Amino acid sequence: MKTQNILIAHPSDEKELSVIKAFFEALKIKFEIAQDSPYDPEFVAKIERGREDYRSGKGIKITSFF
């Protein structure tokens, strides 16, 4: 039995993604693009709200003594 290798790429934009896809297709390497996010959308929205609150001055800075 052949060992299956898994490659994970993180292209930063559509151009990089299209180059990676073209490369795999040229070498006839099977690939798939995951459409699901590993994060709960509600959790992501909560984090984004917190970041926006901080940017708008609603955050506080806490200093650690460690």
| Predicted pLDDT at 3 | 66
pLDDT for 1 equals 54
What predicted TM-score, i.e. pTM, was given to this entire model? 0.49
9, 20 Cβ separation under 8 angstroms? yes
Q: What is the average pLDDT across 19-32?
A: 94
Name the average pLDDT for the chain.
88
